[in-house]
Amino acid sequence: MTKKKIALISLVCLITVIFTGCGAGGDGMKNNGKIELEKLEGMPEDFITGADVSSYISIIESGAKYYDEEGNELDDAGFFKLLYDGGMNYCRIRVWNDPKDENGHTYGGGNCDINNAVRLGKLATDAGMKVLIDFHYSDFWADPGKQTEPKAWKGMTTEERADALYEFTRDSLNTLLDEGVDVCMVQVGNETTNGICGAKDSYKNMTDLMSAGSRAVREISSERDKEILVALHYTDPQHNEYAKYADYLDRYGVDYDVFASSYYPYWHGTLSNLTRQLKDIAEKYDKKVMVAETSYIYTLKDHDGTGNTENPDKTGDVFDYDISPQGQADLIRAVAKAVLDTGENGIGMFWWEPAWIPVNYYDEASSDAAAVYEKNARIWEEKGSGWATKYAIGYDKDADAYGGSAVDNEAWFDGHGHALPSVNAYRYLRTGASLGKGIERYASEEKPSSPEVKLSLPDGVENLLLNPGFETDDGWVIINIRGNACEIKADKDNVRTDKKCLKFWDDNDFEFTAEQHVKINGGSHFTFGGFFEGGDCGDTAEIKIGISADGGETFTEATTKDAGWKQWQNPEIADFLADNNADGEREIIVKITVKAKAGGWGAWDDMYLYESEGK
């Protein structure tokens, strides 16, 4: 998980909070709201329903408090018992090598060194949970955007770094196990899609480091006579590249048990696509698969004054579930089902940081808002309970955005630390939960609806395209020729109709095509068109559609331009002549092509192809 930066355009969403007797988003009142959840049939008893609570120790040390659903204050044991009783059976804990500067000032983000992991691991173990240790092999956040080696390993060769990684893994595991922590799984790296521990340009170097970590885990497992699974962690499943990663892991002989993925519904495409990719890996390589990180918002409010990753000004992200604890529960069930649908090798899921709440509740409308913020800011710096401290700036390129929690609106606790109904969602997966007569669902925040614009074709004609509105992953083949700009994505701010569109943006020059092959019996004239909006593509941009027939390499084309946000253009090729023979099967090929400069953005939606009468 990384703190996403707002890109493209800024649109202020008007959010209406619907109040019921349980309060709006659980902000400050005892939470009497209820959630309902259908039991997930076929879920094994040992299916992992876990969470990452790595920031908990620093938040408690900062003075924050947690409460159960009845408003009772919780001590450490009570907090973990609440999670365990709610169905959480596994605790994920991140470990950084040395998260402090040369003067001993901590970098923040929970101060997640091995000592923090021991304290958390013992609490989780005592509560009856198993533990997953998530080694970042960095002194601070490791994610797809950065994989910075620890300060002490800088300048080492890959071979030297692999030796250091091996020793660090062995020493850390021995420390944890000696303290009685029930470590049952180890992540060798965190979100290693684009690298690990400073290695990013060579699969050989990356896999050498992964193998060193795996070897350390295998040795400790053998020496302790204890089963400890080795997991590797990737993200961005929407790019459909997991098969590539699994292939190079196999080619370079990396020894591991679990292929894990992050899945955040705002960014990572459909769950059906995630299931397909993980299932392919499970079946081809006989690996266990799971979701190592997921989460969802229960409110769009900010509780600490520093803003959140998902906020009212954010554009382009997807909110397919209620913005409420019910929405959180619905996502949990959907993700768990997606993992189960991969087959018997689908082993579970983890929620990311459900306990990362503000230290002191901040209300921008309150007369003491400035004083509360200043107090929080001092504590974040002293205790490391915010995203980053100023001391991390020299190590982490994103630490200039330091402050409080960026995900307090994705927690299972409200801004005052009171448990939300979503804290029980894992238990309800196993038992089911229905609302009694007269009990209302938990309050949700209303989402803006899609534009009421419909596609109108001539009377009596059939749209011959599969998935013309990009609502699924079917039909279209997307080829990113230069850059990685284009994907089918749910995007409420850039669709023309329904929920999804063919969205593109890149911070480098880019070029892509999306095409579909359509088998047709009969017909000689066809009309192809669709709708486009976009901007900043440059004076030399090429934005066009094309059509050809029966294997012809020459496309009849129509061009369009970027006229701005929601300014839908309608390029169309009317009455394209396929041939003069109306009998027999033929193949029509349609395509979308975009070539644009860095920063160009846009979306295609509501494409159509139909047989026309001809001129």
Active site residues: 191, 293
Q: Give the pairing type, strands 229-234 and 258-262.
A: parallel
d(CA 283, CA 356): 36
The single residue listed with the structure tokens 């700009």 is 485
Burial of 124 (0-12, 13-18, 19+ CB in 10 A): buried
d(CA 504, CA 604): 9
Closest CA to 412 of 135, 52, 156, 40: 52
Query: How far is C-alpha 377 from the chain's CA centre?
Result: 28
Residue 478 tokens, joined: 């997307």
Instruction: Please state at what angle helix 271-285 crosses helix 325-340, rounded to 10 degrees.
Output: 30
CA distances 191 to 194, 238, 357, 401, 549, Å, are 8, 14, 23, 21, 43
Instruction: Please state at what angle helix 158-178 crosses helix 203-224, rounded to 10 degrees.
Output: 30
d(CA 109, CA 404): 9
- Phi, psi torsion values for 582, nearest 5 degrees: -85, -5
DSSP-based three-state secondary structure for 530: strand
Closest CA to 90 of 315, 338, 258: 258
**What is the DSSP secondary-structure string of 152-203?**
GGTT--HHHHHHHHHHHHHHHHHHHHHTT--EEEEEESSSGGG-BTTB-S-H
Residues 466 and 475 sit within 8 Å (Cβ to Cβ): yes
**What is the DSSP secondary-structure string of 222-290?**
HHHT---EEEEEE--GGG--HHHHHHHHHHTT---SEEEEE--TTTS--HHHHHHHHHHHHHHH--EEE
CA distances 276 to 45, 111, 247, 474, Å, are 24, 37, 16, 13
Residue 228 tokens, joined: 């400890």
